[in-house]
Structure 1
Amino acid sequence: MSRLVTGEDTQVRITVLGKSPAWQDAGGACSGYLIEEAGTCVLLDCGCGVFGKLRTHRDYISVDAVVISHLHADHIFDLVPFASALTYAPRQQPVPVDRWPGIAEPIRPALYAPHGAKESFALMCQGGGMFPNHVENAFDIHEYGPGDDVRIGPLSVTFAAVPHFLPTCAVDVRVAGNGSGPGPRFTFGADCAPNDEIVAFAAGTDLIMLEATLPRPERSGIRGHLTPREAGEHAARAGARRLVLTHISDELDALWALDEARDAFGGEVLLASEGAVYCV
């Protein structure tokens, strides 16, 4: 069962580094979540403002892998300062600098991102005045597709396509069972329009985190986001144990959003906030 905690008494911890939609909350950050299990550390999404938030919780050198759900700016832009730290920080240099003894091979965390990511990262860096290969040189990049299964330490990370404005995958994180049944499980819906795919993908999950960007459906055109009520409906259909609303602006009334989602879900709903920790 998942719950909001501040201690170390459960197996998998999900810490919210940033929960804003494409425009940041005042003093906030866009999409970014730290997933920790024993000695393994994964950063899920790295949107605007996330790298600075990460540094208040964890040494960035200790991040084993970064997983990106899709290539929108509010989910990837802080890969640039992260890459800058991995490239230029004193501890990453081959010769002693100040209190750092020097390192023969700089640390390069794994980076799992959708197909086409290398090209997108190069364009992002070039447009920002960096070398096009800035992110690629700093990280060990692996491009994934829907249905792929990635193993990061004891964590099994799988992906399923969900409808959005560009190719996007929901992300499911599981811990291997210990012989007495399946291990803890966390499902992140990424950004998505109403869909059946996330319902099937997240069926029975311990904790589902769904976006709740919109106060009401889009006025026209292709849909790309959920309302709080729709998030509650999707979580209920998936049979999730608990629901966390995320990707939601501080300009949207929190109590209204929670009431909408709770009415549709029928169970406990939490609203993501920076620094909150959820455990499964």
Structure 2
Amino acid sequence: MKLVFLGTNGWYDNADGNTVCALIKTKRWDIVLDAGNGIYKLDQYIDGTKPVFILLSHFHIDHIAGLHTLVKFRFKKGLTICGGSGARSVLGKFVNRPFTVPLAKLPYPVKILELPSEADQLPFRLQTLPLEHADPVLGMRLALEGKTLTYITDTGPCPNAAELAKGADLLITECANLPGEFNPHWPHFNPETAGRLAAEAGARRLVMTHFSASRYPFPSNRALALRHARKVFPAAATARDGLQILLK
């Protein structure tokens, strides 16, 4: 199983990366975490012969903007898009005219599932819990090929993030805020809170992504974040666009 980061920015693209998107390549499925602008690179890493699943944490634009590129792909076994309550309504409007090619006109079948109520229709195990943000966000925990991956984005520290991260083989968290920064009115992680979550949850590895494009304009800013995270959790890493991690 391989993890590929296609976009690692939050808010908007800059020279350091596209908005957030990651690919989990398994033997049976290709699973995409969020659909920021980085998703356009998907066909560089998959051939479209396996079923494709897109898991949306929430509907902020930086997490769904890349959906307008879906028409370029040829998913031979179709696409399933999973999102929180209201996903059918939101995506039916967003992936539609006058903005882009409608879902019904894409060159492959598309199915939408709403989480958590329809998670039992997935062929793999997915647990979701609500996180704390300005709008509803789902944290995710996936069981794949004997490994556990947890995806936590757009939230501040909260009990549900800790529950989902518990004992994860790989914990992926956002890191939108700078070291020491916290805004209770717009909750996000900083490097220290990401590292603390990994340490307290007993995760094996931590990878930080979703770096605010305005706060982290250069690779050196991410390097500083990594130093702060490793003071709390030595097995921390920072994602960059194109980073690949093998899980075995």
TM superposition score normalised by structure 2: 0.85
- Mind listing any 5+ residue stretches in structure 2 that lack a counterpart? none
Match of 1:173 in 2: 142
Are positions 1:145 and 2:132 aligned together? no
TM alignment of 1:1-280, pairs within 5 A:
12-26=1-15, 28-51=17-40, 53-60=41-48, 62-82=50-70, 84-85=71-72, 107-124=77-94, 125-126=96-97, 128=99, 130-131=101-102, 138-145=109-116, 148-149=119-120, 151-152=122-123, 155-175=124-144, 183-215=146-178, 216-219=180-183, 222-248=185-211, 249=213, 250-251=216-217, 253-265=221-233, 267-280=234-247
Runs (4+) of structure 1 moved beyond 4 Å?
Answer: 129-135, 146-150
The offset of 1:33, in angstroms, is 1.0
Amino acid at match of 1:16: F
Q: Is the 8 A contact 2:50 2:77 kept in 1?
A: no
- Mind listing any 5+ residue stretches in structure 1 that lack a counterpart? 1-11, 93-105, 177-182
The offset of 1:62, in angstroms, is 3.8
Query: C-alpha distance in 1, partners of 2:121/2:127?
Result: 6
Is the partner of 1:78 in helix, strand or coil? helix
Amino acid at match of 1:19: T
Q: Is the 8 A contact 2:53 2:79 kept in 1?
A: yes
Is the partner of 2:125 in helix, strand or coil? strand
The offset of 1:49, in angstroms, is 3.5
- Per-residue CA deviations over 1:45-87 (Å, capped at 9, x if unaligned) read 1112422x112212346452211111111111212221x235x
Q: Is the 8 A contact 1:19 1:273 kept in 2?
A: yes
Is the partner of 2:9 in helix, strand or coil? coil
The offset of 1:224, in angstroms, is 2.1
Seq. identity, %: 24
- Per-residue CA deviations over 1:199-234 (Å, capped at 9, x if unaligned) read 122111111011111114345x52321111111111
RMSD (Å) for aligned C-alpha atoms: 2.5
User: Do the aligned partners of residues 217 and 138 (structure 1) sit closer, same or farther apart at CA in structure 2, a change above 3 Å counting?
Assistant: farther
- Per-residue CA deviations over 1:102-140 (Å, capped at 9, x if unaligned) read xxxx753111111111211233234526558667x8511
Tell which structure's C-alpha radius of gyration is larger.
1
Is the partner of 2:82 in helix, strand or coil? strand
User: Do the aligned partners of residues 230 and 146 (structure 1) sit closer, same or farther apart at CA in structure 2, a change above 3 Å counting?
Assistant: farther
Is the partner of 1:120 in helix, strand or coil? helix
The offset of 1:172, in angstroms, is 1.1
